[in-house]
Structures are given as C-alpha cells and as structure tokens.
C-alpha cells in the first residue's frame, strides 16, 4: 500500500497474496469503517469501483452519496475517483439502452478517472463519451520496468515458457497446448511450466509440459526470473474479455519475452514493444509462430521504464481534483 492510503475491500481473489490483507490500513468493507474514514479531516480522495463493474458500481454509488453528504460536517469536500480497466464492449456488458444511459449519467458523479489501458478508454469513450467530456480523465498504463521485489539477477534464463494462471479455455490454454506441439517445444529443448493457482482442472499434457499447483508468491517470482518467455494467449468469451493481463505485466517487469493475443487490454499499448509478440486469439498456428519468434529472440530483454504505478495514479487524481475546485 502506498503511504497515506487505506483499503476497504469487498471481496478477494483466490490467488491474491495473503500478506496484502495484513498490511496496515487494509480491512474488510463496512459502512461503519467508511464513515470513520470520511470523518478523517485529511481524507482527500475516495476511490470507488469502476462503473462497468456493474454489480459493485451500485454499492459505489451509495458510497459516493455518503461522501457527498459528509461535506456538511467536513472542513473540505472529498473528491471521488476511479481506475477503469474494463475491456469488454460496454454494449455487451450493459445490454439495455436505458441502463447504459443511466450508467452514463452516474459517471457525472466522478471527479476524475484514470484508465489503465488505451483499450479501456476507447471502450468507455464509445459508450459514454458525452459523460467523459465533463470528467477529468487520462490513460496511465502499468509500469513495466524492473520488478521492485526481486534483486538484480544476471543468472542465465532457462529455456522455459511460463503460463501463469488457471489453465482454462478463456485463458487460451487448450490453444497453447496445440501451439506448443506445432512449434515442437519439447523437441527444441524447451519446457512449458504452468503455475496454476487452483490445480482443479486436469489436462492430458504433451511432452515437455508440467504443472506447479498453487505456488507461493516467492516461487512465482523465482519462475519469472528464470523463465525466458511468458505466454498469455487469452481469448474472448461471452461476458468476458481480458482486462489488462497481469501475467504479461509481470513477465515484462522480470525481463521475459511475452507472447499474448490482441484480446488483452494492453494489446494496443504494447504493439511496438520489442519484447511482445501479439498473435491472433484462438489461432494455434498464429500462436505457434509467436512462440517460435519468442524462443528464437534475444537471451535477455532489458526492462524499459514504461508506464505508471498506483502512486502515479493517485498523484494524477490529486492534481486533477485540485483543478476542479
């Protein structure tokens, strides 16, 4: 957690680092905890869930209403901001036109919006451009320079392709297995390692493929430091599209080459990145070609200083909200 921030969480991911939940300022959401935070005279910004996370946005609107009402007893108002990354077309996310109109109107309650990808910005602009014109907004993509957890490591990379996440259809795992055999990964002397947080699904695995079940974060970092390539071949499914693609972000911050598809939210922002191979979603031949290029690429890839941290996002919110006053 950046200094000066608190987090009230309404849910948690199964693969979340448990240590994060014990950090100072992190606690389960309750209305009492929110009211206590709003009484803090130093509170400047209330971050809420993004509008296209529709189920959570209803709760967010109630939080915003409470924050606006708190202006009566506070010495200064609390600005409201959000970080938006939804990549699934808003018309598919919210099918009824009236509901989309209501959602667009509710966007006017926000003082500042940071989009995590260009794809997310374009998604909101197409559906709610008239609302965004009345709200300060920008695009700040994730920082992709060296990992802040790992010490510098000059050890040689292993001939390993790493898949981080649940080996599901929407993550493109069946396509990856077919592409792996097409490219002859095992015959080339490479391994495909699957770091599966759940380990519930069983697959018939071809030669050279192994699964590590629910590895701790320290082991994930070790895998990223030693692997040459990270594969994240997401495909779109009804009601779902890859928002950012954290495995590819982690791969790039650890100096890996990355093979992904145009379905990931960061695809438009990474088209010119020298360590990224963009492939056609759901196409084993295209993915195999991307794997081949990545396998034959340079031994190491220098992580570039690209993108922004959460501290940068908060700093932009503060500046944007100060301009609105």
CATH of the domain at 81: 3.40.50
Is 145 among the domain residues? no
Q: Give pLDDT tens digits for 171-204.
A: 999 999 999 999 999 999 999 999 998 875 566 7
Is 227 among the domain residues? yes
Is 1 among the domain residues? no
- Band of pLDDT at residue 141, cut at 50, 70 and 90: very high
Residue whose structure tokens are 């959401």:
29
- Band of pLDDT at residue 205, cut at 50, 70 and 90: confident
Residue 176 domain boundaries: 158-295
Residue 281 has pLDDT above 60, yes or no: yes
Q: Are residues 162 and 282 in the same domain?
A: yes
Pairing of strands 79-84, 45-48: parallel
Q: Is the dihedral of CA 53, 56, 59, 65 positive or negative?
A: negative
Report the number of distinct structural domains present in the chain. Answer: 2
- Band of pLDDT at residue 301, cut at 50, 70 and 90: low
Q: Give pLDDT tens digits for 16-57.
A: 666 777 788 888 999 999 999 898 888 899 999 999 999 999
Residue 71 has pLDDT above 80, yes or no: no
Q: Are residues 199 and 265 in the same domain?
A: yes
Q: Are residues 314 and 203 in the same domain?
A: no
**pLDDT of the residue at 115:** 98
**pLDDT of the residue at 2:** 67
Is 303 among the domain residues? no
Residue 11 has pLDDT above 90, yes or no: no
Q: Are residues 163 and 262 in the same domain?
A: yes
**pLDDT of the residue at 201:** 55
Q: Are residues 122 and 214 in the same domain?
A: no
Q: Are residues 88 and 187 in the same domain?
A: no
**pLDDT of the residue at 45:** 94
**pLDDT of the residue at 39:** 87
Higher pLDDT, 207 or 303: 207
Q: Are residues 75 and 187 in the same domain?
A: no
- Band of pLDDT at residue 15, cut at 50, 70 and 90: low
Residue 235 has pLDDT above 60, yes or no: yes
Q: Are residues 185 and 259 in the same domain?
A: yes
Q: Is the dihedral of CA 68, 116, 15, 25 positive or negative?
A: negative
**pLDDT of the residue at 204:** 76
Is 136 among the domain residues? yes
Least confident of 12-26, 247-261, 279-293: 12-26
- DSSP, residue by residue, 174-221: HHHHHHHHHHTTTTTT-EEEEEESS--------TTEEEEES--HHHHH
Is 2 among the domain residues? no
Residue 133 has pLDDT above 80, yes or no: yes
CATH of the domain at 208: 3.40.50.2000
Is 147 among the domain residues? no
- Band of pLDDT at residue 151, cut at 50, 70 and 90: confident
Q: Are residues 118 and 173 in the same domain?
A: no
- DSSP, residue by residue, 28-96: E--HHHHHHHHT-TT--EEEE--TTSHHHHHHHHHHHHHHHHGGGTSSSPPEEEEEE---S-HHHHS-S
Q: Are residues 16 and 132 in the same domain?
A: yes
Residue 304 has pLDDT above 70, yes or no: no
Is 16 among the domain residues? yes
Residue 62 burial (CB count, 10 A): 12
Residue whose structure tokens are 């990223």:
224
Residue 73 has pLDDT above 80, yes or no: no
**pLDDT of the residue at 59:** 93
**pLDDT of the residue at 23:** 80
Q: Are residues 180 and 278 in the same domain?
A: yes
Q: Are residues 92 and 165 in the same domain?
A: no
- Band of pLDDT at residue 292, cut at 50, 70 and 90: very high
Whole-number average pLDDT of the chain:
90
- Band of pLDDT at residue 74, cut at 50, 70 and 90: low
Residue 260 has pLDDT above 60, yes or no: yes
Q: How far is CA 260 from the centre of its chain?
A: 14
**pLDDT of the residue at 52:** 96
Question: 293 with 231: CB under 8 angstroms?
Answer: no
């Amino acid at each position: 957690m950046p200094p000066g921030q608190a987090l009230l969480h309404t849910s948690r991911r199964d693969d979340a680092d448990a240590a994060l939940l014990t950090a100072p300022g992190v606690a389960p959401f309750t209305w009492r905890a929110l009211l206590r935070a709003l009484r803090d005279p130093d509170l400047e910004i209330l971050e809420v869930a993004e509008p296209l996370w529709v189920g959570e946005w209803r709760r967010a609107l109630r939080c915003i209403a409470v924050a606006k009402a708190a202006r009566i007893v506070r010495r200064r108002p609390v600005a409201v901001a959000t970080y938006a990354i939804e990549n699934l077309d808003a018309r598919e996310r919210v099918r009824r036109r009236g509901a989309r109109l209501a959602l667009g109107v509710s966007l006017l309650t926000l003082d500042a919006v940071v989009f995590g990808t260009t794809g997310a910005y374009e998604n909101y602009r197409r559906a709610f451009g008239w609302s965004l014109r009345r709200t300060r907004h920008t695009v700040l993509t994730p920082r992709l320079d060296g990992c802040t957890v790992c010490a510098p490591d000059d050890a040689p990379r292993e001939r390993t392709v790493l898949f981080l996440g649940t080996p599901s259809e929407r993550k493109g795992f069946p396509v990856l297995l077919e592409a792996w055999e097409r490219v002859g990964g095992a015959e080339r002397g490479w391994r495909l390692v699957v770091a599966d947080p759940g380990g519930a699904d069983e697959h018939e695995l071809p030669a050279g493929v192994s699964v590590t079940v629910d590895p701790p974060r320290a082991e994930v970092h070790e895998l990223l430091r030693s692997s040459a390539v990270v594969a994240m071949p997401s495909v779109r499914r009804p009601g779902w599209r890859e928002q950012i693609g954290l495995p590819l972000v982690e791969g790039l911050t650890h100096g890996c080459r990355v093979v992904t598809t145009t379905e990931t939210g960061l695809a438009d922002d990474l088209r010119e990145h020298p360590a990224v191979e963009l492939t056609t979603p759901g196409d084993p031949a295209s993915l195999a070609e991307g794997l081949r290029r990545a396998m034959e690429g340079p031994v190491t890839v220098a992580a570039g200083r690209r993108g922004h941290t959460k501290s940068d996002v908060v700093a932009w919110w503060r500046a944007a909200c100060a301009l609105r006053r």
